[in-house]
Homo-oligomer: A and B are copies of this chain.
């Protein structure tokens, strides 16, 4: 498919939100929606929405409104949600097992095919229809199964050690829950970081700002 060069990161980050909102509209039986209608539901301006959509060629006629089903499918296609990219997860502890069992990987472009850990207590356990395997089997597994993406639910030092090996084994995208800054060392791979601590600290800032506003 066509690539979308020069689309800003901010626009890309809004796509999943559009996709979710449109999915809700579909569930509620809404067939058509104007950019005004979408803007009211999403807290964006209609002009912002039209600008965002123009990055991908527009979709649909102004005045007439967007076909919700068509727009939903187009955004799914742009996001690559049908790709089913084979994915492994490293680190089957508390966080890793939550991610493995709670995330709807297949609805988001991925297919979880292997889970790895080093802890003897976890190896052999079943998680989401997969058996947790020892990390020593990773090389053979990748040679046979050719996963493209890896979810890292491991400490930073382990991530730093594993990432170059994973790239050598063919991994091109990382969903990174560790604090190891992959993009700094490997700018060519796709990385999406989830830094829960950073998110919580940002909330601390927001609450403090509002509290100080009240006080002063």
A interface vs B, CB < 8 Å?
1-4, 12-13, 15-17, 19-20, 41-43, 78-81, 83, 85, 94-95, 97-99, 101-105, 107-110, 148-149, 172-175, 179, 181, 183-184, 188, 190-192, 194-213, 216
Contacts and interface: CB of A to CB of B under 8 A. Distances in A.
Question: How many subunits of this chain does the assembly comprise?
Answer: 2
A192 B173 contact: no
Contact of A173 (B1, B179, B194, B203): B203
A13 B80 CA distance: 27
A175 B197 CA distance: 11
A175 B198 CA distance: 12
Contact of A205 (B79, B98, B191): B79
Contact of A80 (B105, B207, B213): B207
A79 B15 contact: no
